């Protein structure tokens, strides 16, 4: 399967996200809102409420909610959430980002909280393409930098791979800002 393109999610492509997220019970429930809301809201909204939240964000947002990858047949095969850091309520309150986060940059710095790739499309470098496309989208929208808090170290990482890995972020030009826990590293790429 040849990857053809990665592009920003627009309201016209919501059907593609529905198709992609329908391939996993986790994405069907979360709808990539875990980092957007605080506390139990993502769990309480599991399924249709989270879907409504996500679709509202896509329909009303000035910036895209993320980027989608498509294969040569036009089928959506990968997703990377991204947008201004100020969008992500859980990130703003996280003890992982608190020591190094400059709150005055929350609108100017974009964040990458998670990825999803169809199982049949994994291990083909797609996550790297998604992360590079997220950085390019942030640049197009005037962001000064883009950050993430991927899994630390070489792995193996069996859980929480939706966060990305330190190696992936490093390969895409991100550098370490902080290592707040043995399992997580905050990484940043100036734009």
Predicted confidence pLDDT, tens digits, the chain (191 residues): 566 799 999 999 999 999 999 998 999 999 999 999 988 898 898 999 999 999 999 998 778 999 999 999 999 999 999 999 999 999 999 988 888 899 999 999 999 999 999 988 888 889 999 999 999 999 999 999 999 999 998 766 667 889 999 999 999 999 999 999 999 999 999 99
Whole-model pTM: value is 0.93
Question: Tokens standing for 53?
Answer: 């939240």
Cis peptide bond prior to 156, omega within 30° of 0:
yes
The domain locations on the chain are 3-190
Residue 157: the pLDDT is 66
3-state class of 137 per DSSP?
A: helix
CA distances from 11 to 18, 65, 116 (A): 12, 10, 19
CATH architecture, domain 3-190: 3-Layer(aba) Sandwich (3.40)
3-state class of 169 per DSSP?
A: helix
Residue 185: the pLDDT is 95
Alpha-carbon gap, residue 82 to 64, rounded angstroms: 8
Residue 89: the pLDDT is 93
Residue 156: the pLDDT is 66
């Amino acid at each position: 399967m040849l990857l053809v393109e990665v592009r920003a999610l627009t309201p016209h492509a919501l059907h593609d996200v529905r198709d992609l997220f329908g391939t996993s019970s986790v994405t069907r429930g979360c709808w990539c809102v875990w980092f957007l809301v605080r506390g139990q809201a993502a769990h309480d909204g599991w399924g249709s409420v989270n879907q409504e939240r996500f679709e509202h964000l896509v329909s009303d947002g000035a910036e895209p909610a993320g980027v989608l990858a498509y294969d040569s047949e036009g089928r959506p095969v990968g997703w990377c959430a991204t947008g201004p850091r100020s969008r992500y309520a859980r990130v703003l309150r996280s003890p992982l980002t608190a020591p190094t986060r400059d709150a005055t940059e929350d609108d100017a710095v974009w964040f990458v909280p998670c990825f999803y790739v169809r199982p049949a499309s994994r291990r083909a470098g797609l996550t790297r393409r998604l992360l590079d496309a997220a950085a390019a989208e942030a640049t197009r929208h005037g962001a000064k930098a883009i950050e993430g808090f991927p899994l630390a170290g070489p792995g193996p990482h069996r859980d929480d791979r939706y966060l990305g890995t330190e190696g992936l972020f490093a390969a895409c030009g991100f550098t370490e800002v902080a290592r707040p826990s043995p399992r997580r590293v905050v990484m940043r790429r100036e734009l």
